[in-house]
Amino acid sequence: MDGHATTRVDPQVVEAMLPYLSDRFGNPSSQSHGYGWEAAAAVKQARQILADAIAASSEEIVFTSGATEANNLAIKGVAEANLQRGRHLITLQTEHRAVLEPCQYLERLGFEVTYLPVQGDGLIDLQQLQASLRPDTILVSVMAANSEIGVLQPLAEIGAICHAHQVLFHTDAAQAIAKIPLDVQTSNIDLMSLTAHKVYGPKGIGALYIRRKNPRVQLAPQIHGGEQERGFRSGTLATHQIVGFAKAIELGLAEQPQESERLRQLRDRLYSRLQTLEGIYLNGHPTQRLPGSLNISVEGVDGAALLLTLRSQVALSSGSACASGRAEPSPVLIALGRDKALASASLRFGIGRFNTLDEVDFVTEQVAMSIQSLRRNHTKA
């Protein structure tokens, strides 16, 4: 139940990919024979599906190896191409490391970055955003859905503020694509990072949406070579991955309304049962969140011990997979104002397509039993 870290590839996605690993193996850049044309046609169709999913046009989609690379391209690419306009960027303290680290890299090169705090519910403070904009601000980067607490940021409001100040707006939508509606037009989004493997697609493929008009985003490529993707991202396109990515998005969008409701019910069932234990604190906004997402802090237990007692039965995590294995409490939970003890004793549940009601009930019981037993031992000791 660790669906924020990654997901199983849907069998229908695997099926769609297989021909491009065998008979249809052409290089989409090969223009001189049928193998190439066939691959190029598949890429073209996939690009259109992705563009339609976010109300973009197909020339605005650049394939990357995932959301990490898309974030790097967006942030470093905008910084490098807009040196004349300024050297100030704004982001949130609760962003994924794939946003924070490129920002820190830019700071080492002499850029200035404002890391905005969030409110107690994990949401951005829009007045604070307004107040932190400067004449030399070139980019605001705020994620769509948080990977640890599932909180959904108000993209349209942020986009409106950025648009009014003529500052580019980037959003990391790795956890959001095909799970909540996304529209780059109505939300005034200029750059959007996507990935396949959080929505039942393969690992190693993602995309960056780059706005082409009103305004046309200036972006410096970060990978140079054969000039694929209009020079924004060189390298032979991974046809099979791209086909799988598009299939995953198609499936996700088709089931979105009903599946969101199913996941929300499972999530709420899990939470209301755990709440009866007392000393359970919800991390993040109660309703402005991904439907299958729940993050709680548990009073009176050691977080590492809790995961340890659960791990033979349940695959769960305390937060980001990229930070697991680190002893420190989650910086996201600290940013919400949780004290060190509660921030160190968190559980992140990501309920998804392949989880059943029985599984949710099983996990609920396992977690409840573990918490109670750890608390009993704690009181004895």
Ligand X SMILES: *Cc1c(COP(=O)(O)O)cnc(C)c1O
Point out which residues bind ligand X (CB under 6 A). 66-68, 96, 98, 143, 147, 172, 174-175, 195, 198, 206
Q: From the candidates 18, 223, 253, 322, which is the catalytic residue?
A: 322
Sign of CA dihedral 192, 198, 201, 206: positive
Minimum separation from the CB atom of position 18 to ligand X (A): 22
* Closest-CA residue to 29 (of 209, 194, 204, 234): 234
Minimum separation from the CB atom of position 102 to ligand X (A): 11
Sign of CA dihedral 175, 177, 185, 43: positive
Q: Are 289 and 150 in contact (CB under 8 A)?
A: yes
Minimum separation from the CB atom of position 290 to ligand X (A): 11
Minimum separation from the CB atom of position 67 to ligand X (A): 3
Minimum separation from the CB atom of position 71 to ligand X (A): 6
Nearer to ligand X, 98 or 189 (CB): 98
DSSP code for 228: T
Long-range contacts of 311-316 (CB under 8 A, 24+ apart): 313/362, 313/366, 314/1, 314/362, 314/363, 314/366, 314/367, 315/1, 315/2, 316/1, 316/2, 316/347, 316/348, 316/349, 316/363, 316/367
Nearer to ligand X, 149 or 298 (CB): 149
Locate 198 and state its tokens: 């959080």
Q: Are 172 and 124 in contact (CB under 8 A)?
A: no
Nearer to ligand X, 171 or 297 (CB): 171
Nearer to ligand X, 40 or 176 (CB): 176
Nearer to ligand X, 38 or 148 (CB): 148
Number of continuous H segments (helices) and E segments (strands) in the chain: 11, 10
Minimum separation from the CB atom of position 88 to ligand X (A): 22
Nearer to ligand X, 55 or 322 (CB): 322
Q: Is 322 a catalytic residue?
A: yes
**Bridge-partner residues for 208, per DSSP?**
62, 193
Q: Are 173 and 143 in contact (CB under 8 A)?
A: yes
| Residue whose CB is nearest to ligand X in the complex, by number | 66
Among the residues of the chain, which ranges form H helices? 11-17, 34-53, 67-81, 97-108, 126-132, 155-164, 239-275, 303-310, 331-335, 340-344, 357-380
Nearer to ligand X, 87 or 289 (CB): 289
Angle at the Cα of 75 (from 74 to 80), degrees rounded to 5? 100
Please tell me the distance from the alpha carbon of residue 115 to that of residue 22, in angstroms, as a whole number. Answer: 47
Minimum separation from the CB atom of position 41 to ligand X (A): 25
Catalytically annotated residues = 322
